Homo-oligomer: A and B are copies of this chain.
């Protein structure tokens, strides 16, 4: 850290070890490692349980106190000088998509651990406790919807409702949680909730902007809005060789027509609308049978609340008009309006980055994060670092070691500053 000003910021950040952080990222990526260099570490899986145990070992080695709440959100506490005060939470999640990368979520948790380790090494104990947190099931690929642990923590979703959700094999969240709890019998329990003093989440950008702009730190201004739908198309099963086109009610053909109509109706020249059909299931899904049924997902995002509302409200009619001789039903699963993080936290991040001479810029988040729900509970902010080519939710996800280190430095100073604030 030679050449940097001897200010408060430098005191903590200089103890961040980019090498240690990188080593831990590589160790953690071994839990659920895939052949193609990615990670399959879905929520509450054996792989995640093993990764959590590793987190606890690292935390206990530096004196942090681990605890879990009824949703298996995992907290690693560095006690402040006044432990009665609400704590500052920093972290993210360590569950992944089935074909996820090494850094989505994991970077935020390990950068938080590194930040606390640096604060401890700096020999300066903050007023408030700082807790590294790993939220349960951010990805939502095994148990839908995602951001489940933070939703329960922030009372956005009821505990009972969450416990009843099942994965595709019929296992309930409640059952999967029992497995985690029994594997972590040594970790102490705490109740759900408790309003934190603040929450800061570091994360890879998952988009191409920081890389394109040549900046290291993204000061996240907010999260775009999101609406999700399930569309069900019902036709009639029939024989592929004998049924004339005119006599068919082919659910697949209708679904394709619907998808085309949706792409047209929701098109914007500006390329701001994010429209994704990621899941598409055909029944009975055999080559020689005209499909009777298609169920597909629709993920719609936009930063402008009015535009998001208008686009999403049009979907039902577009689907019905394009369905031809098939029946169609549209179910909305989620409507989260866009949000903006408080200026004060964004300003703290900017001041720290500037003092550390790390380049930064304002950036909106295209993806949802646990910070969305924490924002409803306490002052919340996010710190992005670049990821290669903007590629994410992909086994090829990649970041640079020095970006990770700079992200942890900024996070360490921000957390320390917030933990000493009134």
Contacts and interface: CB of A to CB of B under 8 A. Distances in A.
Nearest to A104: B239
A91 interface: no
A206 to B, nearest CB: 4
Contacts of A144: 287
A238 interface: yes
Scoring A237, A250, A259, A290 by chain B CB atoms within 10 A of each residue's CB, the highest score goes to A237
Contacts of A367: 239, 241-242
Interface residues of A, number: 68
Interface string A61-98: 00000000000000000000000000000000000011
A277 B277 CA distance: 18
Interface string A185-209: 0000000000000000000011110
Number of identical protomers: 2
A323 to B, nearest CB: 15
Contacts of A368: 241
Contacts of A365: 241-242
Interface string A357-374: 000000001111000000
Interface stretch (A119-127, A150-158, A340-348, A388-396): A388-396
A417 interface: no
B291 A241 contact: no
Interface string A262-279: 010000000101111111
Contacts of A259: 256
Contact of A289 (B97, B228, B238): B97
Given A260-B260, A289-B97, A241 B301 contact: yes
Given A146-B288, A271-B246, A285-B281, A391 B297 contact: no
A287 B278 contact: yes
Main secondary structure of the interface of A (DSSP, over half): loop
A243 B392 CA distance: 9
B280 A247 contact: no
A31 interface: no
Given A98-B286, A299-B287, A238 B394 contact: yes
Contacts of A256: 256, 259-260
Interface in A274-326: 274-292, 297, 299, 301
B390 A284 contact: no
Contact of A278 (B285, B390, B391): B285
Given A244-B271, A274-B240, A278-B291, A141 B286 contact: yes
A290 B276 contact: yes
Contacts of A237: 99, 393-395
A241 B206 contact: yes
A253 interface: yes
A238 B146 contact: no
A350 interface: no
A247 B367 CA distance: 16
A286 B242 contact: no
Contacts of A395: 237
B207 A392 contact: no
A287 B395 CA distance: 17
Contacts of A226: 241
A263 to B, nearest CB: 7
A254 B259 CA distance: 12
Nearest to A392: B239
B288 A206 contact: no
Q: Which 6 pairs of residues, A with B, have the shortest CB-CB distance?
A: A242-B366, A240-B276, A207-B242, A287-B297, A241-B367, A237-B394
Interface of A: 97-99, 139-141, 144, 146, 205-208, 224, 226, 228, 236-247, 250, 252-253, 256, 259-260, 263, 271, 273-292, 297, 299, 301, 365-368, 390-395
Given A252-B277, A253-B277, A278-B290, 8 more contacts: A139-B288, A224-B241, A226-B241, A238-B392, A242-B365, A243-B274, A280-B291, A288-B299
